[in-house]
C-alpha cells in the first residue's frame, strides 16, 4: 500500500489482492459496495488490480477511483520476457516473476487451479533471488509467496496454503530485520497466526500474534496515532487466541489493554472514536460476563451508555463499514460457546467437527481461509433450514424457546460476519437489526415462561441489538436498549 498526501485528503493506492489488514479491511468493503460489487476477494469476481481511495478523515468517507490500467500480459509477451530472463538473469528474472504474477491474476477466475502454476513459478524465481542473503528482492518474494498461499487456499489445498504462510512469515521476519520500527511487516505474520488458529494450533498462533502485537506496541509508544487501531485489532486477535489456548487470565489482561487503548484513542479524537468505544465496551462486557466477572461487565455497559450519550441521536453512516467490522468481531466472539458440542458430544446444527480447518470466532472474515468460508456458509444454510421448519411454541415451552433463541442468535452472528462481504448496505437496518429485535422478544418470552432463570440471556440479546444499532449510528436507540440491559445485569 502506498500513500500520497493531497489537498483535502490522503490518497491511498491499494493492491486489492494483498489487502487483508484489519486497519483498512473495512475500506475495501466500502469500495466493493460503491462499485456495485459484493463478495470476497478472489471468489469468482473481477476487480481491478489496484484502486485509488481518497480519504477524508473528518468525514470518514472513502471515494474509490480506478487507476490507469497497465497493459495485460499475453502468452506472447510472457515468452519474450522469458527469453530476456535467460539472456540477462539479473534484470530479467525479477521482471519475469512480476509478469508471471500479473499473468496469473488475468487467468480465468472461475478456475483458480489454472492460475497456480504461474504463482508457483514466480515464487520459485523469488526463492532463487533471495538465497544469497541480499535484501533487494525480499519484499517482493514475501508478497509473491503470500499470494501463492492465497491461491492454494482458493482451491482448498489447505496444507500447502499453511506452508506458504510459514514461508512468507519467515521472509517477513527477514524484511523486518532491515526495517525501522513503524515500517515493519505485520499483515503476513497475522495471516500465519490466523492460519495456525484455524487448524487448532493455538499456542503457535499466540506466539506469532505476540510478534504482531509487539510491533504495533512499539509504534504506538512513539505516539504513532495512525497505528493505534492496528494495535487494538491485534490485541483483540491475541485475546481470542489466548482464550482458545486455555490461557483465560492472560486473555483478560490483553482484553483490558485493548480497552485502555480505545479509551486513550477516544480522548485524542472523540468525534471519530466515540462510536467505536461504545461498541467495543459493550462487546467486551459480554466477554467479561462469560468469564465470570459480572461486576466488570456491568461497568462496561455503563461506560458504553456514557459514550452513547455523548453521540448525536442519529449519526452519519460514513464510518459504517468499520463499525460493522468492530461489531461483527465482538458479536461472533461472544457466541463461541454456542458452537461447541453438547455434553454427549453432539455438534450443533451447522457445525462440522471433522473439517480440518475451523472458524475462529471474532477474527475478521477477510482473514479466513476459503475452506472455512465455505463451511461457514454451508452451516448458515443448515441453520436456516431448521429455523424455517421450526415454529414458536404455544403455549411457551422454556426448553424449546431456549433452543430456538440460541439457534436464532447463531444465525444472526453468521449473518453479521458475512454482511460486509455478501450483502448490501441495507442488510443491517432492514434484515439483521429486526432479527436481533426478534431475538430479544424470544428471550423475554423465555424469561416470562421461567422467571427463575437468570436474565443474562436477555441482557446478551439486548446488548446484541444495541451494538448493531450503534453500527448504523442509531445512537439514542442503542443507549435506551443498553440502559435496560444494564438494569437487568
- Does residue 83 share a domain with residue 35? no
**457, 445, 412: which is closest to 290 by C-alpha?**
457
Any idea what the CATH number is for the domain that residue 162 is in? 1.25.40
Give the pTM: 0.83
Report yes or no on 111 lying in a domain. Answer: yes
Bridging pattern class, strands 2-6 and 61-66: unpaired
Report yes or no on 277 lying in a domain. Answer: no
Report yes or no on 99 lying in a domain. Answer: yes
- Does residue 342 share a domain with residue 405? yes
- Does residue 60 share a domain with residue 28? yes
Query: pLDDT-based confidence at 70, cuts 50/70/90?
Result: low
Residue 6 has pLDDT above 60, yes or no: no
CB neighbour list of residue 48: distance below 8 Å, 6 or more residues apart: 16, 66, 67, 69
Report yes or no on 227 lying in a domain. Answer: no
**CA distance linking residue 14 with residue 52, whole number of Å:** 6
**CA distance linking residue 479 with residue 169, whole number of Å:** 43
Element (H or E) spanning 333, and its range?
helix 320-334
- Does residue 93 share a domain with residue 47? no
Pick from 34-48, 174-188, 306-320: least confident? 34-48
- Does residue 461 share a domain with residue 385? yes
Host domain of residue 309: 297-488
Instruction: Summarize pLDDT for 126-155 with one digit per residue, the tens.
Output: 999 999 777 899 999 999 999 999 999 999
- Does residue 167 share a domain with residue 312? no
Report yes or no on 301 lying in a domain. Answer: yes
CB neighbour list of residue 313: distance below 8 Å, 6 or more residues apart: 475, 476
Of 77 and 226, the one with more pLDDT: 77
Mean pLDDT to the nearest integer, 19-32: 33
pLDDT attached to residue 225? 55
Q: Are 302 and 309 in contact (CB under 8 A)?
A: no
Query: pLDDT-based confidence at 328, cuts 50/70/90?
Result: very high
CB neighbour list of residue 454: distance below 8 Å, 6 or more residues apart: none
Percent of the chain with pLDDT over 70: 84
Report yes or no on 130 lying in a domain. Answer: yes
Report yes or no on 458 lying in a domain. Answer: yes
Q: Using alpha carbons only, what angle is made at residue 27 by residues 25 and 32, rounded to the nearest 5 degrees?
A: 100
Report yes or no on 260 lying in a domain. Answer: no
- Does residue 448 share a domain with residue 312? yes
Which residue reads 459480554 in cell numbers?
286
Residue 392 has pLDDT above 60, yes or no: yes
- Does residue 153 share a domain with residue 24? no
Query: pLDDT-based confidence at 181, cuts 50/70/90?
Result: low
Residue where a domain terminates, one of 143, 178, 213: 178
- Does residue 131 share a domain with residue 57? no
Cell numbers of 10, please?
490522503
Residue 24 has pLDDT above 60, yes or no: no
- Does residue 348 share a domain with residue 434? yes
Of 63 and 230, the one with more pLDDT: 230
Residue 14 has pLDDT above 50, yes or no: no
**CA distance linking residue 212 with residue 346, whole number of Å:** 36
Residue 43 has pLDDT above 80, yes or no: no
Task: Give the C-alpha distances (Å, rounded to integers) separating 25 from 365, 376, 385, 481.
Answer: 10, 20, 31, 29
Residue where a domain terminates, one of 178, 211, 232: 178
- Does residue 346 share a domain with residue 318? yes
Can you point out the beta strands (E) in 270-421?
none
- Domain tally for the chain? 3
Residue where a domain terminates, one of 25, 40, 66: 66
- Does residue 140 share a domain with residue 78? yes
Residue 37 has pLDDT above 70, yes or no: no
**CA distance linking residue 202 with residue 245, whole number of Å:** 5
Helices and strands in the chain, H and E counts: 19, 4
Amino acid at each position: 500500500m502506498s500513500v500520497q498526501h493531497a489537498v483535502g485528503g490522503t490518497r491511498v493506492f491499494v493492491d486489492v489482492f494483498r489487502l487483508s489488514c484489519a486497519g483498512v479491511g473495512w475500506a475495501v468493503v466500502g469500495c466493493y459496495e460503491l462499485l456495485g460489487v459484493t463478495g470476497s476477494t478472489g471468489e469468482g469476481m473481477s476487480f481491478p488490480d489496484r484502486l485509488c481511495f481518497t480519504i477524508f478523515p473528518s468525514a470518514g468517507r472513502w471515494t474509490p477511483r480506478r487507476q490507469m490500467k497497465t497493459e495485460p500480459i499475453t502468452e506472447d509477451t510472457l515468452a519474450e520476457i522469458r527469453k530476456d530472463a535467460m539472456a540477462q538473469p539479473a534484470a530479467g528474472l525479477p521482471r519475469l516473476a512480476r509478469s508471471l504474477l500479473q499473468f496469473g491474476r488475468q487467468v480465468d477466475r472461475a478456475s483458480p487451479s489454472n492460475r497456480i502454476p504461474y504463482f508457483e513459478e514466480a515464487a520459485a524465481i523469488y526463492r532463487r533471488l533471495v538465497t544469497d542473503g541480499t535484501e533487494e528482492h525480499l519484499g517482493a518474494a514475501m508478497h509473491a509467496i503470500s499470494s501463492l498461499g492465497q491461491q492454494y487456499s482458493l482451491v482448498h489445498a489447505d496444507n500447502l496454503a499453511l506452508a506458504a504462510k510459514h514461508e512468507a512469515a519467515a521472509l517477513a521476519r527477514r524484511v523486518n530485520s532491515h526495517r525501522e520500527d513503524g515500517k515493519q511487516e505485520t499483515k503476513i505474520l497475522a495471516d500465519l497466526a490466523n492460519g495456525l488458529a484455524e487448524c487448532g494450533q493455538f499456542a503457535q498462533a499466540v506466539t506469532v500474534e505476540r510478534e504482531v502485537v509487539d510491533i504495533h506496541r512499539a509504534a504506538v509508544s512513539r505516539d504513532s496515532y495512525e497505528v493505534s487501531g492496528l494495535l487494538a485489532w491485534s490485541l483483540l486477535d491475541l485475546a481470542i487466541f489466548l482464550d482458545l489456548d486455555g490461557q483465560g487470565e492472560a486473555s483478560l489482561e490483553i482484553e483490558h489493554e485493548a480497552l485502555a487503548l480505545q479509551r486513550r484513542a477516544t480522548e485524542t479524537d472523540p468525534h471519530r472514536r466515540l462510536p467505536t468505544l461504545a461498541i467495543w465496551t459493550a462487546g467486551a462486557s459480554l466477554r467479561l460476563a462469560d468469564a465470570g466477572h459480572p461486576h466488570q461487565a456491568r461497568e462496561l455497559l455503563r461506560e458504553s451508555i456514557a459514550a452513547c450519550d455523548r453521540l448525536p441521536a442519529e449519526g452519519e453512516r460514513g464510518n459504517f463499514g468499520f463499525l460493522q467490522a468492530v461489531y461483527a468481531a465482538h458479536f461472533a466472539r461472544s457466541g463461541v460457546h454456542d458452537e461447541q458440542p453438547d455434553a454427549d458430544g453432539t455438534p450443533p446444527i451447522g457445525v462440522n467437527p471433522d473439517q480440518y480447518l475451523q472458524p475462529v470466532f471474532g477474527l475478521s472474515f477477510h482473514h479466513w481461509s476459503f475452506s472455512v468460508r465455505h463451511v461457514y456458509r454451508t452451516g448458515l444454510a443448515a441453520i436456516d433450514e431448521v429455523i424455517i421448519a421450526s415454529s414458536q411454541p404455544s403455549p411457551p415451552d422454556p426448553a424449546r424457546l431456549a433452543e430456538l433463541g440460541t439457534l436464532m442468535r447463531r444465525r444472526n452472528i453468521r449473518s453479521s460476519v458475512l454482511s460486509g462481504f455478501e450483502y448490501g448496505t441495507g442488510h443491517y437496518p432492514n434484515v439483521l437489526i429486526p432479527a436481533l429485535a426478534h431475538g430479544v422478544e424470544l428471550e423475554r418470552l423465555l424469561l416470562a415462561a421461567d422467571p427463575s432463570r437468570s436474565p443474562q440471556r436477555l441482557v446478551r440479546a439486548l446488548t446484541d441489538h444495541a451494538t448493531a444499532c450503534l453500527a448504523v449510528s442509531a445512537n439514542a436507540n442503542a443507549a435506551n436498549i443498553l440502559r435496560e440491559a444494564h438494569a437487568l445485569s
